[in-house]
A = this chain, B = another copy of it.
Amino acid sequence: MISVHHLECSRSFRILWALEELGLDYDIHYYQRLPNYSAPETLKCIHPLGKAPILTDDEQVIAESAVILEYLQQRYDQKQQFKPKEPQDLQQYIYWMHYAEGSLMPLLVMTLVMNSVNKHVPWLIQPVAKKITEGVKANFVRPRMKDHISFLENYLAEHEYFAGDFSFADIQMSFPLEALQSRLQGKYPHIQAFLHRIQQRPAFQKARQKGIGSNERNCADI
Contact = CB atoms under 8 A, between A and B. Distances in A.
Given A129-B132, A135-B121, A95 B64 contact: yes
A64 B99 contact: yes
Contacts of A95: 62-64, 67
Contacts of A154: 48
Kindly report how many copies of this chain are found in the complex they form together. 2
A110 B107 CA distance: 9
A132 B125 CA distance: 9
A136 B151 contact: no
Interface string A118-138: 001100010011011101100
A177 interface: no
B102 A105 contact: yes
A164 to B, nearest CB: 17
A198 interface: no
A125 B131 contact: yes
Interface string A32-73: 000010000000100011110000000000111111001100
B136 A113 contact: yes
Contacts of A140: 113
A103 B100 CA distance: 12
B66 A102 contact: yes
A133 B121 CA distance: 11
A36 B136 CA distance: 12
Given A105-B106, A125-B131, A128-B132, 11 more contacts: A44-B147, A48-B150, A49-B148, A49-B151, A50-B147, A62-B91, A64-B98, A64-B99, A98-B102, A110-B113, A132-B133
Interface of A: 36, 44, 48-51, 62-67, 70-71, 91, 94-95, 97-99, 101-103, 105-106, 109-110, 113, 117, 120-121, 125, 128-129, 131-133, 135-136, 139-140, 147-148, 150-151, 154
